[in-house]
Amino acid sequence: MRLWIRNPLAIMAEGAGGGLVVEDGRIVELVAAGRQPAQPVDEVQDASAHVVIPGLVNTHHHFFQTLTRAHPQAINKELFPWLKTLYPLWGAHLNRDTFRLGVRLALVELLMSGCTTASDHLFVFADDMADAVDIEAEEARALGMRIGLTRGALNMGTKSGGIADERLIQDYDTMLADCERVLGRYHDRSEGSMSTVALAPCAPFNVTRDMMVDTAEMAEKHDCRLHTHLGETHDEDEFCLAKYGMRPLDYLEDTGWMSSRVWLAHGIHFNDEEIARIGKCGMGVCHCPTSNMVLASGQCRTKELEAAGAVIGLGVDGSASNDNSNLMETVRHALMLGRLTYGSAAVTHLDALGWATEGSAKLLGRDDIGVIAPGKQADLAMYTLDELRFSGAGDPLAALVLCGAHRADRVMVAGQWRVVDGLPLGVDLEALRRDHGAAAARFLQAV
């Protein structure tokens, strides 16, 4: 089946003014403006009202946190006080049923924003959630989305000087055994795979040194990526200096994590020397501008990191520190925060879109998605500009970011339509909102 997506209003690809042709889940041809495809097609999708970009790739999230958005006890706090407020609530009320609904809502919201590949940083495992990674895989499969699964960990709770709730922590050997299981079941490194796996201890302030070392060694064995929070707040700096006698990046190196297979969430508080070291080894940083602004954590030094050789991607972060799972909105925030930091000409709409597509794909170790080009996977997000917010916009691609696009009209994953007319196929949005809202109400109960 050859599909011609014809004559887009604008497209994020050179020489494709006439659109693109999709066959067997891949992009097989870019069509120049005013031209026809080189070979006959079976179907045509008129895109004259659409701006077409690669499917967005989300590289840091905490799906379960959709259950505690704008929580009245947690709003207006910085990271550590925010975590100390929410961990007991998560420990008391998170179970496999509420977790599944949190995951489902996060994925649907991401998909509707134009996200085709999502990576979740999963590190909470309540007593009945041994199969939490499997639940995420099932929910992504039902929606037809690609997923970057992470098998995360907490093993330093309040009893050992951390801040995590003890009810979310598993036995050490259980965690390592499940890392091996998840890698064997879901880590598919082939072209066009629908799932990959990374190992992802939560952060230096709630996992032990042994966990960092053991996961680094396991990642080498299985050739998978590594992910953790690092450099998010000054509180983290102070914790690492007090507990380990070194700054967070030095601790990362001490545990065997200074590697090109690593991508970090946030990466805000690095000095010049640390940025040079990150760039030299080709590490990645997931910029989370919305969360960083909500929690007043600081501003990621994206331009310096890129100049040093680091790869920059984007993430919405948890839906309790961002309060939504809309990756297109995060693109706009990345542009705005970047301009506030570096100047109006230093960060363009194409920079921000590039971070959310090709840059994010690289963080996940993928070169088959994130770009509209022949041979790449047919993952696309298509937006119309028919809302009042776009009226008068002269540059359609720039308008997506500057005028605040937030909902895709059509989304394709692996050559299959997953959103049509703004609605995710096969999803009862009314029922999802009702069931998720009822589950979230439990988290308002005192503990």
Helix-strand-coil percent breakdown of the chain, rounded to 5?
Answer: 40, 20, 40
pLDDT for position 434:
98
Tell me how far CA of residue 204 lies from CA of 127, 163, 209, 252, 359, in angstroms: 23, 11, 8, 8, 25
* Mean pLDDT of the residues in the chain: 97
pLDDT-derived band at 162, boundaries 50, 70, 90? confident
Determine which helix (DSSP H) or strand (DSSP E) holds 53, and give its type and residue range. strand 50-54
> According to the model, what pLDDT value does residue 360 have?
98
pLDDT at 313 exceeding the cut of 90: yes
- Contact at 8 Å (CB) between 313 and 59? yes
**Neighbouring C-beta atoms of residue 260, cutoff 10 Å:** 15
Report pLDDT digits (tens) over 167-181: 999 999 999 999 999
pLDDT at 59 exceeding the cut of 90: yes
Pick the CATH number of 2-54+376-424 from 1.20.1050.10, 1.10.3720.10, 3.75.10.10, 2.30.40.10: 2.30.40.10
What is the pLDDT at residue 319? Answer: 87
Taking a C-beta distance cutoff of 8 angstroms, is the pair 335, 347 a contact?
A: yes
Domains of the chain, residue spans: 2-54+376-424, 56-363
Segment 244-303, tens digit of pLDDT: 999 999 999 999 999 999 999 999 999 999 999 999 999 999 999 999 999 999 999 999
Q: How many CB atoms lie within 10 A of CB 38?
A: 9
Dump pLDDT digits (tens) for 22-40. 999 999 999 999 999 999 9
pLDDT tops 80 at residue 399: yes
The reported pLDDT for the residue numbered 75 is: 95
- Tell me the two tokens of residue 332: 């706009």
CATH of 56-363, one of 3.20.20.140, 3.30.300.30, 3.30.360.10, 3.10.420.10: 3.20.20.140
For residue 275, the model assigns a pLDDT of 98
pLDDT of residue 161: 80
pTM score of the predicted model:
0.98
| Residue pair 94/87 in contact by the 8 Å Cβ criterion | no
| Statement: residue 58 has pLDDT above 90 | yes
| CA pair distance 332, 334, nearest whole angstrom | 5
For residues 108-121, average pLDDT: 98
**What length is written for the chain?**
447
Amino acid 105: pLDDT? 98
Q: Which string of DSSP letters, residue by residue, matches 151-172?
A: EEE---BGGGT--B-GGG---H
Looking up tokens 């065997």 gives 256
Q: What is the pLDDT of residues 204-252, one digit of tens each?
A: 889 999 999 999 999 999 999 999 999 999 999 999 999 999 999 999 9
Q: What percent of the chain has pLDDT over 70?
A: 100
